[in-house]
Amino acid sequence: PAMRLDVVSIFPDYLAPLELSLIGKAREDGLLDVRVHDLRDFTHDRHRTVDDTPYGGGAGMVMKPQPWSEALDHVLALDNPSGARPHLVVPGPGGQPFTQALARQLALEPWLAFACGRYEGIDERVYDHAREDLGLEVSVVSLGDYVLNGGEVAVLAMVEAIGRLVPGVIGNAESLVEESHEDGLLEYPIYTKPSSWNGREVPPVLLSGNHGAIAAWRHEQRLARTAARRPDLLHASHAGPHGDLEIS
Ligand SMILES: O=C(OCc1ccccc1)c1cn[nH]c1
């Protein structure tokens, strides 16, 4: 059965790229069932109001709870015979880090619903309502320590990272194996033809046909790159036989 992905946003057109290329094809192949909903369809006033000023004062605006409650009810009611429940994922700067590990976990779920916040965010009671009244698992997830204007860009990134892990979405499975962050190290440098270009040569080991030496060189490169760019990713399990993390 297709993995179901619902997205609620006041800018549904922002999610149009999900109709393209890989994710678009996976939708055609029935692997992903992606539906985008306009939050303003769940307002009833002339101005289709979705936000208001924050209680307690402060800058900016807060998204009103009622439209979100009606949008979630609509998502849950849509052709949902099994009564299954979606995992509600809300992008936000204050969330748990979105990592390849979390992407892998989410790719195993049958149904994800994404709530795209705008302004300063969503009234907290929507999270409580979703958890306590709708019985949903709710996760606030951050792409990184920076602030976007809204959740849409984050959802595009997450849907791409998750969608490509769904079996059948990516053609050759092996391309999924050797990837950054899969085993905690960054990827090694890659090369293709011509072997000499612009006076620059491809490292000879890669042309040697000596697969042991090639694998060793690639591992060394991954360690060196990770030490240089992401020392935070390095830990004891990556130490060499002498327990050293020093890169030669
Ligand atoms: O800004 C983000 O989400 C959009 C958002 C949601 C709620 C209020 C303001 C902005 C974000 C940053 N890292 N990961 C997500």
- What span, in angstroms and rounded, lies between the C-alpha atoms of 234 and 184? 8
Whether the CB of 144 sits within 6 Å of ligand 1? yes
Q: What is the pLDDT of residues 73-124, one digit of tens each?
A: 999 998 777 778 999 999 999 999 999 999 999 999 999 999 999 999 999 9
Q: Please tell me the distance between residue 157's alpha carbon and the centre of ligand 1 in angstroms.
A: 12
86 in contact with ligand 1, CB cutoff 6 A: no
CA 222, CA 183: separation in Å to the nearest integer?
11
Question: 139 CA distance to ligand 1 centroid (A)?
Answer: 13
- Please tell me if the CB atom of residue 157 comes closer than 6 angstroms to any atom of ligand 1: no
Confidence of residue 174 (pLDDT cuts 50, 70, 90): very low
Least confident of 47-61, 79-93, 206-220: 79-93
Please provide residue 20's backbone torsions phi and psi, each rounded to the nearest 5 degrees: -95, 170
State residue 181's pLDDT score. 67
ipTM, 2 dp: 0.97
The answer to whether 245 and 227 are in contact (CB under 8 A) is yes
* pLDDT tier for residue 180 given thresholds of 50, 70 and 90: low
